[in-house]
Amino acid sequence: MTLPISFEFFPPKTPEGADKLRTVRQALYVKKPEFCSVTFGAGGSTQEGTFGTVGEILAEGVSAASHFSCIGATKAGVREQLATLKAMGVKRLVALRGDLPSGYGAGGEFSYASDLVAFIRAETGDHFHIEVAAYPEVHPQARSADADLQAYVTKVKAGANSAITQYFYNSDAYFRFVDDAHKLGATVPVVPGIMPITNSSQLLRFSDACGAEVPRWIRLRLQGYGDDSTSIKAFGLDVVTDLCDQLHSAGVPALHFYSMNQSLPTLAICERLGL
């Protein structure tokens, strides 16, 4: 199977974590990713770690995309960060509204990701390939499904080149989202975000928080395995590989893997798919 793939990492918090991530990246580079993205903490709290990790990936000869959030940010601050990334040789950004650190009021000069996308375009022209987030199962804070779709279309029309979705396990939600967005004139590629299943309690907790639905049949099977991590991983590999197969058969533009800073779960899916 030939399909462009990319991997997401989060900035490590300790020197041991940084060493481990270097090993993980080398293992995943074997799959020739189109790029690797690095996440950004609430309110830009991990900015130094994000930019540092992005710099390492570029130095390893791989294209890197920095996540970039704008909540609580000023235009002057964003302008400075864009200049830093440009000087580092970054050509790709994942532009997000982002979360406020707890205890902060709103503030900042950007209300929505679409404001950030428009600002980046105005400031830097076509220098950056801009990715935005898409929510096939609706953003957890959206007023309604229609409002969420409209917010996505606004981001695309502000100048996004493509989108990466929140992870999902129901391919119908993805296909419906893409169709609905196309009808509203948002025709950029929408890349499915893929989350390997390796730990049931962590996955269920994470999914409840970010609004990704774990279908009842998957939830019940995972709960039925209890603490049997071998069975959870084998079942998860089957489920996620089948999902990727369906998406590939339908002609998705690429797959973006949420690695959670581990190589083995993502490599197992890629091997099974023959990527």
CATH of the domain at 203: 3.20.20.220
State residue 109's pLDDT score.
87
SS3 249: helix
Active site residue 271: no
Only one residue has tokens 């390997």, namely 196
- Write out the E strands in the chain: 5-9, 35-38, 64-69, 92-96, 129-134, 162-167, 190-194, 255-258
Closest of 92, 83, 106, 42 to residue 63, by C-alpha? 92
Per-residue pLDDT of the chain (275 residues; tens, 9 = 90+): 789 999 999 999 999 999 999 999 999 999 999 999 999 876 666 788 999 999 999 999 999 999 998 888 889 999 999 999 999 999 999 999 887 665 555 567 888 999 999 999 999 999 999 999 999 999 988 999 999 999 999 999 999 999 999 999 999 999 999 999 999 999 999 999 999 999 999 999 999 888 899 999 999 999 999 999 999 999 999 999 999 999 999 999 999 999 999 999 999 999 999 99
CB < 8 Å & 24+ apart, contacts of 85-91: 85/51, 85/54, 86/124, 86/127, 88/51, 88/54, 88/55, 88/58, 89/58, 90/54, 90/58, 90/64, 90/65, 90/66, 90/128, 91/63, 91/127, 91/128, 91/129
Tally the domains of the chain. Answer: 1
User: Residue 207: which of 140, 108, 267 has the closest Cα?
Assistant: 140
Global pTM reads 0.95
Separation between Cα atoms, residue 227 and residue 164, nearest integer Å: 32
In the chain the first and final C-alpha atoms are separated, in Å, by 5
Give the residue numbers spanning the domain of 201: 5-273
CA atoms within 13 A on the CB side of 117: 25
Residues comprising the chain, all counted: 275
Given 8, 34, 56, 271, which residue is catalytic? 8
Task: Give the integer Cα–Cα distance in Å for 116 and 118.
Answer: 5
Q: How many CB atoms lie within 10 A of CB 102?
A: 7
